[in-house]
Amino acid sequence: MVARCVAALGLMLASLLSTPAVAGGAILCCENAEGRRVCGDVLPQACYGRAYRRVASDGTVIERIAAPMSEAERIAAEREARLRELEEDRRRMQRLQDRALLDTYRSAADIDQREQRAIGEIERDLAKAKAREEQLRQAQERLQEEAKLHPAGAVPADLTQAIRDNQSELAAQETVIDAKLKNIDAVRARYSRDRERFKTLTATPASR
């Protein structure tokens, strides 16, 4: 009886020894510092910090595990990921802008008409500002001529104040005119960009 138990135990041990140490017969392999292949049922010490592979019993590579990144590589990878994220944000924003552009304009001619109307409104305000500037300049000339009728240092206080007020308003009007001119340039630049982008988006494949 004891002999039979010993024999059975021997068969069990033999069966266990014939079973691969890693499930499915996979082992872990890498190239060591000398470039030689090193394998083991668990990751060999020579593979620490290096890329390695999980290899099946038939030699098929099941999985490749990259080596841990260095600090410099990690920073570079994070930077590349951030750049990809920013680029995707830019492309998403461009798609939204393009959609809005196509929803806003019916045609290139529509863009031209809207530009003309926008500039026309500014030019009407600009004409009023220039007319007011001319009135102020003429008033300034009259005030200066009146001041000349008085001896130096004896110009009446109210006349002196009128000259100062006129000069202040004239300076403000000049600022308004400058802002209107810059506004016209900005409008033209904006509609020019819209026009070019609209043509690009609506161009047929053959004409691109």
Q: What is the DSSP letter of 208?
A: -
Quick one: average pLDDT of 88-94?
96
Hey, what are 162's tokens?
A: 């009128």
Hey, what are 115's tokens?
A: 């530009």
Sorted by where each begins, the domain ranges of the chain are 22-69, 94-207
pLDDT value at residue 8: 39
Q: How does the average pLDDT of the chain come out, rounded? A: 86
Structural contact between residues 196 and 112, judged by C-beta atoms closer than 8 angstroms:
no
Structural contact between residues 166 and 158, judged by C-beta atoms closer than 8 angstroms:
no
pLDDT value at residue 200: 95
- Please, what is the angle between helix 157-202 and helix 108-148, to 10°? 170
| 112 vs 106: CA distance, rounded Å | 11
Q: Is residue 206 pLDDT above 80, yes or no?
A: no
Return the percentage of the chain with pLDDT > 70, whole number: 86
Smallest Cα–Cα separation from 170: which of 196, 123, 132?
132
| 43 vs 27: CA distance, rounded Å | 8
pLDDT value at residue 152: 81
pLDDT value at residue 36: 93
pLDDT value at residue 16: 33
pTM summary value: 0.59
pLDDT digits over 109-147, tens only? 999 999 999 999 999 999 999 999 999 999 999 999 999
pLDDT digits over 38-64, tens only? 999 999 999 998 999 999 988 899 999
Return the percentage of the chain with pLDDT > 90, whole number: 73
pLDDT digits over 3-48, tens only? 343 333 343 333 333 333 344 568 999 999 899 999 999 999 999 9
Hey, what are 2's tokens?
A: 């004891």
Q: How confident is the model at residue 184 (pLDDT cuts 50, 70, 90)?
A: very high
pLDDT value at residue 205: 67
